[in-house]
A and B are shown apart, each in its own frame.
Chain A
Amino acid sequence: MSVKEIFETMEYGPAPEASGDALAWIVDQGAQFGQFIGGRFTEPRKDFASRNPATGDVLADLSSATVDEVDAAVNAARLAQPKWEKLGGHKRARVLYAIARLIQKHSRLFAVLETLDNGKPIRESRDIDVPLVHRHFYYHAGMAQLMEAELPGRKAIGVCGQIIPWNFPLLMLAWKVAPALAMGNTVVLKPAEYTSLTALLFADICRQAGVPAGVVNIVTGDGAVGEMIVTHEGVDKIAFTGSTEVGRIIRRATAGSGKSLTLELGGKSPYIVFEDADIDSAIEGLVDAIWFNQGQVCCAGSRLLVQEGIAVRFYAKLKARMGTLRIGNPLDKGVDIGAVVDPVQHQRISELVKACDEGETYQPQMQMPSEGCFYPPTLITGLSPANPLMQEEIFGPVLVGSTFRTPAEAVAMANNTRYGLAASVWSENVNLALDIAPKLVAGVVWVNGTNMFDAAAGFGGVRESGFGREGGWEGLQAYTKPAKAAKKLAQISPYKGDKGPIDPLDRTAKLYIGGKQARPDGGYSRDVYSKSGELLGQAPIANRKDVRNAVEAAAGAASWGKTTGHLRAQILYYIAENLQARAGEFAARVNQLTGKRNGAHEVEQAVDTLFTAAAWADKFDGLAHNVPMRGMAVAVREPVGVIGAFCPDECPLGGLVGAMAPAIAMGNRVVLVASEPFPLAATDFYQVLETSDVPGGVVNILTGSHAELAKPLASHLNVDAVWSFSGADISATVEAESAGNLKRTWVNNGLTSDWTDTRAFLEAATEVKNIWVPYGE
């Protein structure tokens, strides 16, 4: 077209980013790559190809790691770890700083390579991905520097196996590698098989940055290689980002292994628009929510909820906006939507959309590239929550929409999902927006915005979107562990006996469910004897139906989570007061049960624990993160929800209170399974609860076999977390059964627990939700 003609049409024309340097880098490496193990690349093989999804062209040949190679990588990491940790925070900070600077110096090379390999628009890799990567290493260089001073009592976990997805290849690498290295861990990282190239360039950068050999190891391949890492005995921690389905498999595979685990999984994040929102801005926000990275974003605002009164106008404006999106060559600087990562994904998206038989599907008339993996922006409106597309993650540029009438209905619809990763709320009314944000079940909430990320603010989900946070102080939890070593926990069998009862009058211990004493569903009880064989009484044997009833009662007491910390503190103090009043009786009971003499001490400890929990109830504050934005990113601590806890066997009262107090102080409801050999202190304790204004359902107490109850409690889909301090060997069962709804687990793996580490209990009892509130008039 001539200048004169363009003057008339005012088209944009092509604006390609040059790819020569990135392609030259690939060629310089021989266009084939081995594994990066112990600071050098292994001999490459041509096991699979990495392709440019926009053109189908092969970019390089890659090697699929063998069992031996994964072994070698883990061994290299093992070997390097103690030295790396002992280097100290400052020396590690220097290395992370060097990585950050090198990424900045090679920023365009990384961006172009990422776009070639993944298909995302160059604008995104250049303006979003790579700057966030750089920022993440920068930020965590600081965390390494501060570790000794700010995280006393914490140490590196060891060797971290990290498996990352293809949607943000380099960014996910940064989110995994930076905090791990900062805290003194070493890593074996597997990039997704579609997108390994920037990870391999990163390996190159590591050598330049002076990362010691073996600290960062990168192995390539598909899920089979991932599985080798997950099941490898030399790995101490697995961090995975990817689908909920694979997350569940990993949860089961690592159950009982003692490996720590963090999972960042799928989502179907709601995007709520109230009638008083800045509608044009909310629509522009959707472009960043669902048409960012072709919708291949775990936290994509993929579920639009619009208030009924503005829906018609909103949809009309949205459709008009969709028409100006430009789809095509991802290397073109003027392209909004690039290529979907692989033909497999393209087919999946197409099939899901085709299968939809409800509502109205809209795709704008637009110029589509004639070849390559391109899928047009799609809006499906008029869907009911029952439609699979309102529930299932599509992972493509497809937005589904529905309407709501009231704020309460918006919250109900938003939370009507198994996921809980992110949410957006649009309203110009600060009262409304800040009322809704805490009510949304999500790890991240954006007010009048979407897809805002920063290294200083933790990212991660609740429910089946996984657990653990990446970024911020909260993210370091996942890469450190208590420095104090645990010992093996002795197993305790109940005492046997044949003597008569010690009580002059028969007493009936019951279960405590929903604020009421309840007989066990099964109608069985177990005789409990003292060490010297006297009959102390009978403990009910709870079964799965009692678990069901207790969880139902706990779920019904949800308003406990909305009470103030001050109120919860008062109640905890009141429990302490009433326990103290009966201290002598409880001390005697504990002594009877355990056959030891530290009952008085245990009661004193329990009162102390209650005071500590009461003290923290209104003090375990969130944080206002320092994110580079005019606004606030507020990390609030929210209760986890319903926590099931298998109490320790050895201290029948202290252990019960030790699990209960911090949990309810933070606003959780608990289902406590009492010490298995010594259950009768717990059944006495509910009398204290009954006289202490504890609302029904907040604390529920079961007695019975831990091994029997582990499965029904850990598999219950309305339980949000399960803790086990049990002497019984149930850690593997709890972790495996938790996979159903990916509840959080905290198990002892047969080791002793540190009951003085209050902070560990408070952390386990809360989820960090980051609420982003940009402001400005």
Chain B
Amino acid sequence: MSVTTETPPNTLPLHIEARNPGMALDMDWVRAVQANTSAIERRVKSLPGRRSVKKDYQAAWLLKAISCIDLTTLSGDDTAGRVARLCAKARRPVRDDLMQALGFEGLTVGAVCVYHEMIAPAVAALEGTNIPVAAVSTGFPAGLTPFELRLEEIRQSVAAGASEIDIVISRRQVLTGDWQALYDEMRAYREACGDAHIKTILATGELGSLRNVGRASLVCMMAGADFIKTSTGKESVNATLPVSLVMIRAIRDYYERTGFRVGNKPAGGISKAKDALVYLSLMKEELGDRWLQPDLFRFGASSLLGDIERQLEHHVTGAYSAGYRHAMG
């Protein structure tokens, strides 16, 4: 067993990008958003056949995927011990010998994502790293607690040390077409976040149509979202490629017109290394390389890391790997 010295983890380029300040709600723009489901499905269906990364490229891309993971635990039975274990995995996501073989060091995941009560243990466990703690908020996952309590939840989570807040939108505003209400709510959340980054969960599985996903994405960016995120992981349908493509294209449109880059976070249901590669290539194709950094792209995932680890070991040794050979989080 080789010995590695402790090196400071990579600094995440969290503050290179000017934050999206938002803009006034532009309903003409919102109403012009279209999303043709069949054409979008064709695009994402053909993408895995159009782009392929092999060998060292695949290994590097998988490492990139790890750097973009929001390692997540959102369970009712979470404890400080459980969160500490997860944070240890966040610091050291891949076995040292594999990292050495790959000629790489200092890799961490993008963030650790927990409920409010677990912020403090997480912050403590990540001390000395630059791994941010993200907290789900605003009555996650349904978002139907009293509005004032939702704002207060954000404030308390920020005070507890969360530097990213994953809020959930009120789906009913989308379903009834009350875009102004959605905008106003999102504005209030953003203000409550202060300097903490706000990641807006659209819960796309509950929005009814891809067009609604596109319009909701746009309204939330207009209201100042730093990230738009697909799902809570608790809906019956979570991140899908068609939904992600619609959100990605909304992000591109917003950037083209305002000059501000908003991040993207597919979450829920992404568990295979191969899926991660497809998402990365979707980001690269539709938004460009700038969006392949953890300040603009995250996976919300809990079991994805395990599959990537096995693929990396296969890359290094040529033999297919087993789950128990990699440390649990």
Contacts and interface: CB of A to CB of B under 8 A. Distances in A.
Interface string A1-26: 11111110111111100000000000
Counting chain B CB atoms within 10 Å of each CB, the highest count among A1, A9, A10, A630 belongs to A10
Interface stretch (A278-286, A646-654, A715-723): A278-286
A453 B34 CA distance: 25
Nearest to B39: A281
Given A7-B63, A13-B55, A777-B209, A278 B34 contact: yes
Given A12-B52, A334-B52, A6 B37 contact: no
A491 interface: no
B84 interface: no
Interface string B238-252: 000000000001000
Contacts of A282: 39
A631 interface: yes
Given A278-B36, A281-B43, A334 B50 contact: yes
Contacts of A367: none
B46 A13 contact: no
A776 interface: yes
Contacts of B52: 12, 15, 333-334
A12 B36 contact: no
B39 A449 contact: yes
A3 B38 contact: no
A114 interface: no
Interface string A432-448: 00000000000000001
B51 A334 contact: yes
A687 interface: no
B43 A12 contact: no
Contacts of A777: 37, 209-211
B284 A10 contact: yes
Contacts of B46: 127
A324 interface: yes
A340 B57 CA distance: 28
Interface in A250-288: 276-282, 284-285, 288
A9 B290 CA distance: 10
Contacts of A288: 42
Given A280-B249, A285-B39, A12 B55 contact: no
A303 interface: no
Given A4-B103, A448-B39, A776-B41, A10 B289 contact: yes
Interface in B281-312: 281, 284-285, 289, 292
B56 interface: yes
A454 interface: no
Nearest to B61: A10
A602 interface: no
A428 interface: yes
Given A285-B39, A336-B50, A449-B39, A279 B60 contact: no
B249 A7 contact: no
Contacts of A316: 256
B64 interface: yes
Contacts of B53: 12-13, 15, 334
B247 to A, nearest CB: 12
Contact of B60 (A7, A284, A285, A448): A7
Interface string B1-17: 00000000000000000
A13 B49 contact: no
Interface in A99-156: 123, 126-127
Interface in A1-57: 1-7, 9-15
Contacts of A7: 60, 63-64, 104
Interface in B39-87: 39-43, 46, 49-57, 59-61, 63-64
A695 interface: no
A276 B249 CA distance: 16
Nearest to A324: B285
B50 A278 contact: no
Counting chain A CB atoms within 10 Å of each CB, the highest count among B39, B41, B211 belongs to B39
Interface in B197-239: 209-211
Nearest to B41: A776
A151 B42 CA distance: 36
20 contacts: A1-B56, A3-B63, A3-B103, A6-B56, A7-B60, A10-B64, A10-B289, A12-B51, A15-B53, A126-B49, A127-B46, A278-B35, A279-B34, A281-B36, A282-B39, A448-B36, A448-B39, A449-B39, A630-B38, A777-B211
Given A279-B34, A333-B51, A334-B50, 13 more contacts: A3-B59, A3-B63, A4-B104, A6-B61, A13-B56, A15-B53, A277-B34, A278-B35, A284-B39, A449-B38, A774-B38, A776-B41, A777-B209
Interface of B: 34-43, 46, 49-57, 59-61, 63-64, 102-104, 209-211, 249, 256, 280-281, 284-285, 289, 292
A-B pairs, top 10 by smallest CB distance, nearest first, are: A13-B57, A6-B60, A281-B39, A774-B38, A278-B36, A776-B37, A15-B52, A333-B52, A278-B34, A7-B60
